[in-house]
Amino acid sequence: MRHRGPSLIRTAAFAISLAYGAASLVARPHAGATPASAPTYAHDVARVLNAHCVQCHHPDGPGPFSLLTYEDARRRARQIARVTARRYMPPWLPDPGHLRIVGENRLSPADIAMFGRWASAGAPEGDPRDAPVAPVFGAQWQLGTPDLVLSVNDPFVLRAEGADVFWNLVLPAGVADTRWVRAMEILPGNRRVVHHANVLLDRSGMGRARDREFPGPGFPGMDIEIASNRFEPDSHFLFWKPGTPALVEPPDMAWRLEPDTDLILNLHLQPSGKEEIIAPSIGLYFSERPATRVPMLLQLEHDGALDIPPGDAAFSVTDQLTLPVPVTVLGVYPHAHYLGTRFEGSVRLPDGTVRPLVTISRWDMNWQGVYQFADPLALPKGAVLTMRWVYDNTSANVRNPNSPPARVRAGNRATDEMAHFWVQVLTTRPEDRLVLQESLMRGRLQKYPGDFVALANLGSALQTEGRLNEAISFLRQAVAARPDHAPARNNLATALRAAGRIDEAIAEFEETLRRQPSYLDAEYNLGTTLLAAGRTAEAIARLQHVLQEHPSDAAAMSDLGAAYAVAGQYDDAVPMLQHSLQLVPANAQAHFNLGLIAATRGEMQAAAAHFEAALRLEPDNKEIAQALREVKEH
């Protein structure tokens, strides 16, 4: 019988943002002769604007004005020349000369010089017939009509004044079967105040529970802990920021959307001076092709080292991870706040060679993003991923949120700081993901001894690997750190049961429910453990209660049917097992139990049919094969 042993997956909201300088009007230049060598809008300027600028600067786009037409561009010719010469526009943080990045939006020196010459020449239009066809905008969804649109039932009302708001809206997926998502689009609902949006997958119900704790839709927070029923390393960059194209996954890397999954839309909002209505939607595009490659996010961070004194112009924080297995790097995401000035992400190879992944000499929180590599980088076992952040907490930093400068520590507010570097990788073997998780959590414990998240995640990884004694040790430490944390205590109980320590497991399940009576995973696990211990009547009562609270729980139906069968209540067992198979046909245990009941009743033909069905699902199961032989010989 199966166990639900949750592991904690710590997720950090991706603060990806966009801001604009104030628009300044440029008067139409006086009529006059245009130098023959001067660039024109039609022949030169429109090509560059279409490639680098209009994805934001179009009607109803996130930019403060449009640059789709000649008249649009002419009015702002001098401003275009000025902001491109300073490389303020188009916004692109990574330094040149490293790995090629998908969608790199960097102007060449020749393009920048061309804008300057065009503005100086009076912004001539040239022959309109030479102009390239302008991109077409205006469709609500970039990729066409989604297969599924998720929208909030009640919009969130953003207050008029105050600091940045980090708010989470819970959108149940409501799918009947597991689906594979090849692309996702986010409509933020109010582009003026949505700084960025990020999606987290919640299969635990945590988001719904948090939602109920607060009036109105959603709940606050930026850094969120989600307790999962299993170690789930599949990690995708599911984000939106103004001007970004819809995210389409490679054909073999669609992400999994299961029934009862909620999408938590994490929003970074900036008050505008008046109340704003936030009513976002998420569009999902399905694939019939299951994923064959599963990415994993590795987080380098050292927030615990952030204690930046006022007046320090070069405070630095570092972290590193030695890879215990070979990986292929797909992309990276560095994240800090307003005091950050420089970022260096690199890898040191086993031969001592250092290869930069991404370097940002002029960090700007308002323009950060996820950087996916055009050519994924293969790294060997023993390579060392490193990060280094530099912060400026002086008045010379024009983005410093404190005036005068104040001491700044780690936190979720925009006035706090962070030191993060996310690296998305693929492993060679599925089991290598657990090895990476173990390495990450052991590294975290070196930085933060006694850290609950690291203890819980490490215990879960070790339990999945079958290293039960080690897992129990770390999970006991996690429970000692947070005695009321039901998922961690439930996980400890499942590890104890797997180790054959049934009485201890039952005691931990009971203690979990004493502290959190509504935690159904613990009640389900307690019911199946009581059944294994021969306490059938108690098991039936527990499993009945799980189904009262969650009537579509096929696993609880199957196990309750098994408990009825053990108690000799065949008339109750058979419909329960049959119903579980209607929900999940690929349940070998339910077929096996129905076969046993049929054989007990002397219905050998029916018994053989169920055993054959079970054996097709589990061809190596010797117990099923033996039962089938016996009924055929009868």
Cis amide leading into 188 (omega within 30): no
Whole-Å CA distances, 307 to 15, 222, 311, 410 = 21, 20, 12, 7
Is the pLDDT assigned to residue 175 strictly greater than 50? yes
Q: Looking at domain 452-633, does it have CATH number 1.25.40.10?
A: yes
Tell me the β-bridge partners of 427.
327
Strand 315-322 and strand 156-158: the pairing is unpaired
Q: What local confidence, expressed as pLDDT, does residue 235 receive?
A: 82
Break the chain into its structural domains and give their ranges: 41-130, 141-287, 296-447, 452-633
**pLDDT, mean of residues 513-532:** 96
| Continuous segment of H or E residues that includes residue 75 | helix 70-75
**Per-residue pLDDT tens digits for 92-135:** 999 998 889 988 899 999 999 999 999 999 999 999 999 999 88
Q: Are 239 and 335 in contact (CB under 8 A)?
A: no
C-alpha span between 8 and 461 (Å, rounded): 10
Instruction: State how far Cα 622 lies from the chain centre.
Output: 41
Token readout for 492 is: 């400890």
Q: What local confidence, expressed as pLDDT, does residue 21 receive?
A: 30
**Per-residue pLDDT tens digits for 189-209:** 887 788 788 898 998 888 888
CATH fold group of domain 296-447:
Jelly Rolls (2.60.120)
**Per-residue pLDDT tens digits for 404-444:** 999 999 987 778 999 999 999 999 998 999 999 999 999 99
Confidence of residue 241 (pLDDT cuts 50, 70, 90): confident
Token readout for 423 is: 């690296």
Which CATH entry fits the domain spanning 141-287: 3.40.50, 3.30.980, 2.60.120, 2.70.50? Answer: 2.60.120
**Per-residue pLDDT tens digits for 36-74:** 578 999 999 999 999 999 988 988 777 889 999 999 999
Is the pLDDT assigned to residue 7 strictly greater than 70? no
Tokens 């149940």 belong to which residue? 172
**pLDDT, mean of residues 541-556:** 95
For the stretch 432-437, contacts whose Cβ atoms lie closer than 8 Å and that sit 24 or more positions apart, written own/partner, are: 432/325, 432/326, 432/327, 433/231, 433/233, 433/294, 433/296, 434/231, 434/233, 434/461, 434/464, 434/465, 435/324, 435/325, 436/233, 436/296, 436/298, 436/323, 436/324, 436/325, 436/327, 437/231, 437/233, 437/461
DSSP string, 216-237: SS-EE-SEEEEEESS-------
Task: Tell me, yes or no, if the two domains 141-287 and 296-447 fold the same way.
Answer: yes
